[in-house]
Amino acid sequence: MSTKRKAVITGATGVVGRYLLQHLLDIGGWDIVAVSRRVPDIAGRFTHIAVDLEDPVDCRTKFRGLQDVTHVFYTAFVQDPDPARHVARNTAMLVNLVEAVESASPALAHVNLVEGTKWYGSHLGPFTTPAKEWHPRHAGTNFYFDQQDWLEARQRGRGWTWSAVRPHAVCGFSLGSPMNLALVLATYASVCRELGEPFAHPGAPGNWSALYQLTDSTLLAKAMVWMATEPRCANEVFNITNGDLIRWCNLWPRMAAFFDVPVADPAPRKLTAFMAGKGPVWDRIVARHGLQPHALSALAGFAFGDFVFASTWDIVSDTGKARRHGFCESVDTEDMLIGLFGQLRASRVIA
């Protein structure tokens, strides 16, 4: 393969894609095409393309001139309340993208796909932990399965390879992401403080003490580039998390101290219900502290918070395979969350 590398990053403004874009800019040596609805708010040299990934004609048209793409990083995602459409739409987007890039670029060398711990059924109930990459997929449907099956079948006999990464609860500085737990926690704590209410853990009782894992966006970006460029990772799947484990009962007091809000006993409740109608409260916080004028509804996805805090079982992935293949970086999860809160405060997103 030529030493010249050109990457297409889909979902380039999301909690995964944005950090991947920044990482490639930081390390240099890459031409980059960022695919997203809006231009990423990142300084650096890259090309931006707005593409409807659900439209194969638009994909072929927009990617026709990209004859030197070597790597595709697929981080796009669409939500659909209908399970069958959810699977079909997410699979179609991957198919449309890869077929368009493959048709345009004879230089294509690798496609990296983002999956997740739901592969093992972490969202359905207790599952075998620590989850290993060779463990069987859960029963039932999951768009990860359809994407993975299609990608493997498409690659057979072709000159490019694939890899897939399975993180859990990715956290980074990305506003408006529907699955960014750091912003869920930060806005929830801020509203509690404004209302004079204690910062109570809102989850099910078992969630308070169960083992849990998170993944730092920068760590994930490094891992994705590593597996896309390391020959030993060709056609392999890797679990990637921070490498440590937390229990909310241990971390909650530290988060409460950061926001200077009292801790109370856990109080199970839906964040979607508690935060509903709190837009005026948030606007009051913004005005008093001179924050950036983001609407509360545009900052965080509280349905994701309800999902995270509903599980009462351990959620643990084994990351030994990545270490054995050469990726040995790790992140302290507690420090990561406090650091992200500080970054949000410094950027005047929260007070």
Give the pLDDT of residue 179: 81
pLDDT tens column, 163-210: 999 999 999 987 777 788 999 999 999 999 999 999 999 999 999 999
Amino acid at 227: M
CATH code at 5-169+215-239: 3.40.50.720
pLDDT at 1: 39
Dihedral angle at the C-alpha atoms of 110, 113, 114, 117, nearest 10 degrees? Answer: -120
- Give 16-51 pLDDT, tens digit per residue: 999 999 999 999 999 999 999 999 999 999 999 999
Query: Which positions of the chain have pLDDT values less than 50?
Result: 1-2
For residue 312, what pLDDT is reported?
Answer: 98
Where does CATH 3.40.50.720 sit in the chain? 5-169+215-239, 172-213+245-315+325-346
> What's this model's pTM, rounded to 2 decimal places?
0.95
Fold of domain 172-213+245-315+325-346: Rossmann fold (3.40.50)
The pLDDT assigned to 216 comes to 97
| Residue owning tokens 């990351």 | 319
pLDDT of res. 4? 85
Q: What is the pLDDT of residue 2?
A: 47
pLDDT tens-digit map of 321-336? 999 999 999 999 999 9
Structure-token pair, residue 8: 């297409």
**How far lies 178's CA from each of 27, 38, 187, 305, in Å?**
28, 16, 13, 10
